[in-house]
Structure 1
Amino acid sequence: MENIILFGGAFDPVHNGHLRMANAASFLLNADIVFVPSKSPRWKNPTATIDHRLKMLALAIRQNGISGTTISDFEIKSESEVNYTIDTIRYFVKKYPLKRFFLLIGADQVNQFAQWREPEEIVKLAKVVYIPRPDIKIDEKIVKRFSIEQLPYNHTGEVSSTKIRNLQSLDMPSSVLDYIEKNHLYYIERILNIVGKERYAHCLSVAHLARSIAYKNERPEYHKAYVAGLLHDLGKGYDTEQTIAIMKR
């Protein structure tokens, strides 16, 4: 395609909200998507290693079946400690001078856009677009100043990488959930440290069974069923003194 959407982020981990954004933007703008995972984002410190984040992103894209989608390692291989979006855009514009570029950002990033490095140069090289979120009030002065465009799509869901890391959401591809479990990332690492390997295997089995039962009975609370199964033996990892201390909190 003649249009390319650059979609950067930590993707720590990638979730269905990211994929819904990418799908919608690709359709609405008639453009290919380039995911640009960051090595050291300005606004956050990644929890998982870049290798894990890359593998989860590749699994998610493969499972989702987004056509015309690639992953760029430009920022990952950068020798700079901090990656700036303007440098990434300049790289792609130089590499593909005949393409038209869009920069897809989250609604939560719109109000911070003026603080980015060389925002005026960014909007000269790429059209900045975003997808709205009901919990984010957009600063219209920023939108007008930089001609940022809102895409007509509002079904990304309430998922976030933070919610997934804290076991507050399972809104991610099943391949990513499997990867998190197998590689003991995020909440799995914390649970494993409490209950040990043998009990963790049991808890995981119960979690899968509980989620399966919820699905088969068309219960929307499948996330709660999974969490209940995963945590049902957590207290057995604490001694009496620790248990009393937790109860007093």
Structure 2
Amino acid sequence: MKIGLYFGSFNPVHIGHLIIANYIAYNTDLDKVWFVVSPQNPLKVSSTLLNEHHRFHLVELAIKDADRLKASNIEFSLPRPSYTIDTLTYMAEKFPTQEFVVIMGSDSFENITRWKNYEQLIKHYPIYIYTRPGHPVKESQGANIRIVDAPMLDISSSAIRKLIQEGKSIRYLVTEDVQQYIEENGYYR
């Protein structure tokens, strides 16, 4: 089985994330896409970052009916801060029969050479890159890359958090279940 790993804080998960993950799951050779929810980075204590278990639950709610999408909290049990290469190494040991691919935006890919042990990452794992406006992929950095032209929505988690703080509607920016759960629990206020 070929699994795409879509890393992020998903703070909160929104329609833009879901469109990218679903598009990649159904328009590439991947069997599944896992949302790998990154835990709170202890080096960057941010009051805007919701507890990782709450963010994981919101992802589970958002994709509960999606066959090819799965939420993963694998990084919760790994040393922190979590580095992609360490997570990949752990997952390769834990799931030896699976083939893993990293999914990332072209903006993140621009900075790949700054990542911990990026040489190991690009040598052992294909990278599926969804293009973000203003961030064309100019070179592969020696990585096995595949450009995926997924539909892009100009939505950000930070803009959603701001709307919540201002008491404005986030309807249609997140799934109904996610909106309801955020409101019921008073998240991001």
Cα drift, residue 176 of structure 1: 0.9
User: Distance in 2 between the 1:40 and 1:129 partners?
Assistant: 25
**Corresponding residue for 2:25?**
26
Cα drift, residue 14 of structure 1: 0.3
- Indicate how the Cα distance of structure 1 residues 44 and 66 shifts in structure 2: closer, same or farther if over 3 A, else same: farther
Cα drift, residue 67 of structure 1: 0.7
**Corresponding residue for 2:60?**
58
One-letter amino acid of the structure 1 residue matched with residue 126 of structure 2: K
User: Distance in 2 between the 1:137 and 1:7 partners?
Assistant: 18
**Corresponding residue for 2:77?**
77
Most deviating of 124-133 and 38-47? 38-47
Q: Deviations over 1:135-191 (max 9, x none)?
A: x323513x34324321132x13111111111118641111111111111112xx2xx
2:174 equivalent to 1:183? no
Q: Deviations over 1:53-104 (max 9, x none)?
A: 1111111011xx22133222221122x2300000111112122323221101
Matches within 5 A, 1:176-215: 176-186=178-188, 189=189
Most deviating of 8-17 and 22-31? 22-31
One-letter amino acid of the structure 1 residue matched with residue 29 of structure 2: L
One-letter amino acid of the structure 2 residue matched with residue 16 of structure 1: I
Report the secondary structure of 1:67's partner residue. coil
Q: 2:142 aligns with which of 136, 142, 145?
A: 145
CA contact (8 A) 1:101 1:125 kept: no
CA contact (8 A) 1:7 1:104 kept: yes
User: Distance in 1 between the 2:63 and 2:25 partners?
Assistant: 13
Report the secondary structure of 1:75's partner residue. helix
- Structure showing greater radius of gyration is 1
Structure ranking higher in strand proportion: 2
User: Distance in 1 between the 2:82 and 2:53 partners?
Assistant: 17
Structure ranking higher in helix proportion: 1
**Greater than 6 Å deviation, 4+ residue runs:** none
Q: TM-score, normalised by structure 2?
A: 0.85
User: Distance in 2 between the 1:36 and 1:6 partners?
Assistant: 6
**Corresponding residue for 2:5?**
6
One-letter amino acid of the structure 2 residue matched with residue 103 of structure 1: V
CA contact (8 A) 1:89 1:125 kept: no
CA contact (8 A) 2:104 2:128 kept: yes
User: Distance in 2 between the 1:43 and 1:86 partners?
Assistant: 19
Q: Which runs of 5+ in 1 are unaligned?
A: 190-249
Q: TM-score, normalised by structure 1?
A: 0.66
**Corresponding residue for 2:91?**
92
Q: Deviations over 1:31-53 (max 9, x none)?
A: 21222111135889452111211
